[in-house]
Amino acid sequence: MLTPNVRSRLLALALCLSYAAIVSAQEFPRKSIRIIVPYPPGSSGDVMMRLLSQRLSDAFRQPVIIDNRAGGGGIVGAELVAKAAADGYTLFFTAINHVTNVALYSKLPFDAQRDFAAVSLVADVPVILVAHPATGFKTTKDLIDAAKAKPRQLNFGSAGGGTGGHLAMEMFMRAAGINLTHVPYKGATPALTDVVAGQVQVLFTGVPPTLPFIKEGRLNPLVISGAKRSPTLPNTPSMQDIGMLKSDVQVWFGLVTRAGVPKPIVRQISTEVARLMREPEMMAKFAAQGIDPVGSTPEEFEQTIRRDFERLPRLIRESGIKAE
């Protein structure tokens, strides 16, 4: 049992630490901020973060430096952040693979749940289910009926095992009670190319690269992820429209930092990100890439991450999905 003297000392220490955190937040940032981006320069993730980093630099009046650390499905960059100082000056622009890597790899050099603190959900990237016209599929019902009539005789492509499009199809198949054969590719572009050519029947992928083929009638759009329809494809139903929103896979991008960063600093960064993501110019730039800008509180982003940790690793293990 603690003596009154020990209790008073612990209380004093807690007050000092709290005061130090408040002072630190008030002075933040005093130097440049580094954002680890686990994608190569010029990739969509890199372009996204460079748009945001320029505005963050103006807001904080300090340089915001992009440090591209591609490789290992984001593991290389995540490890750097997990081992960085817990001061808020090192951030990580992560995505849904922050969650899926836990099941795709037998061992990680960090704990994906305990070693990071959510800062802000930056953006959602809708994925769309498309079919080659030769299939005759114009609705998800068409696909489901055909798949039930011919189990495992239809193929679906993906950008690779465990990618957002792959998981979206796995969730869709479970909800619909169907089974298609997976054809993994090394990237979204070759997967889309083969669907357009009719080598595989269907594909869940990002919206922007499919638009020209949809407009030309070379792909049929069946459903788009999320609760609402896309302004660019108003006649394509959403997952909510077909009653499968609970089986939807949200392909998200967001900022995290090392666990232990003072909450006032996390809150300060989050507030700025949310404000910037709601600027009309920023929203227009993201929308032009087919990306939905978000900006959230740390708690809201943590809820998204926790939800995916509760279902996606289990889905990967039960489906036998392996990293390509």
pLDDT digits (tens, 9 = 90+) for 158-217: 988 888 899 999 999 999 999 999 999 888 889 999 999 999 999 999 888 898 999 999
Given a cut of 60, whether residue 21 has pLDDT beyond it is: no
**pLDDT, tens digit, 9 for 90 and up, residues 67-98:** 999 888 899 999 999 999 999 999 999 999 89
**CA-to-CA distance for 201 and 194, rounded, in angstroms?**
9
The string of DSSP codes covering 68-104 is E---GGGHHHHHHHHTS-TTSSEEEEEETHHHHHHHH
CATH code of the domain occupying 31-124+251-319: 3.40.190.150
Q: Where are the domains of the chain?
A: 31-124+251-319, 127-247
CB half-sphere exposure, 246, CA atoms < 13 A = 4
**CA-to-CA distance for 29 and 155, rounded, in angstroms?**
51
- pTM, two decimal places: 0.80
DSSP summary character for residue 238: B
Q: Does domain 127-247 have CATH number 3.40.190.10?
A: yes
**pLDDT, tens digit, 9 for 90 and up, residues 167-183:** 999 999 999 999 999 99
**pLDDT, tens digit, 9 for 90 and up, residues 243-276:** 998 888 888 999 999 999 999 999 999 999 999 9
Residue keyed to tokens 């011919």? 150
Given a cut of 70, whether residue 3 has pLDDT beyond it is: no
State the burial class of residue 91 (Cβ atoms within 10 Å of its Cβ: 0-12, 13-18, 19+).
buried
Query: Average pLDDT over the chain, rounded to whole?
Result: 89
At 116, phi and psi to the nearest 5? -130, 155
Bridge pairing between strands 181-184 and 220-224: unpaired
Please give the C-alpha separations between residue 183 and each of 157, 160, 165, 173, 204, in angstroms, as whole numbers.
5, 8, 12, 15, 12
Given a cut of 80, whether residue 24 has pLDDT beyond it is: no
Which stretches of 133-279 are DSSP H helices?
140-149, 164-176, 188-196, 207-215, 263-277
Confidence of residue 121 (pLDDT cuts 50, 70, 90): very high
